Copies of this chain bind each other. A is one copy, B any other.
């Protein structure tokens, strides 16, 4: 991980842990539940990627200091949650930054395992979105990332752009900076203009089983 990516990563897992902690509080969880939900939100994506790729040791097991950030952020959140909503705009920005940073980091891990380019991109997408997905499952709601505005698609775009730039001969730093900027811009535009993937009129559609 380049120093730039590392700093973005630490900021992003802190913000993700805070957003997970708030959701836990709204479900009536106790302090332990809040810390666990914050940590799963922040580190669940990388964990899912590592398990699927067989990439051991898993990120936070090799770097337990990540847990200091996520658990610390969750505990702080438990005491200042009422004030955090005023920072909602800032959170959306940091979350967008985290989404693209997680994706680039996930692609790097995929490449370090000599995976097929499709799998490299998927490793990035999984790193980007599975934290929120696992958080929603623990809160027993249908994962927002499967329903919401352009979010997973931003991860997909970032991952494809990143490995395309590497394939074109750019070095790691150049490719990651361009992919981060382009992916982040797309995410911000998607929020501002409420861009969404096509929805389907599902009225009257019946299941198959």
Contact = CB atoms under 8 A, between A and B. Distances in A.
Interface of A: 18-19, 22-33, 36-37, 47, 51-54, 56-58, 61, 64, 67, 78, 81-82, 84-85, 87-88, 91-92, 95, 115-116, 118-119, 122, 132-133, 137-148, 152-153, 156, 196-200, 202, 204-209
What copy number does this chain have within its complex? Answer: 3
Shortest beta-carbon contacts, A-B, top 6: A33-B146, A54-B56, A30-B197, A64-B118, A19-B208, A31-B197
A contact face: mostly helix, strand, loop, or mixed: helix
18 contacts: A19-B207, A22-B205, A25-B205, A27-B147, A30-B199, A33-B152, A37-B146, A47-B52, A52-B61, A54-B54, A54-B57, A82-B204, A85-B208, A92-B208, A92-B209, A133-B138, A138-B142, A140-B142
Nearest to A24: B146
A205 B47 contact: no
Contact of A207 (B23, B51, B148): B23
Nearest to A37: B146
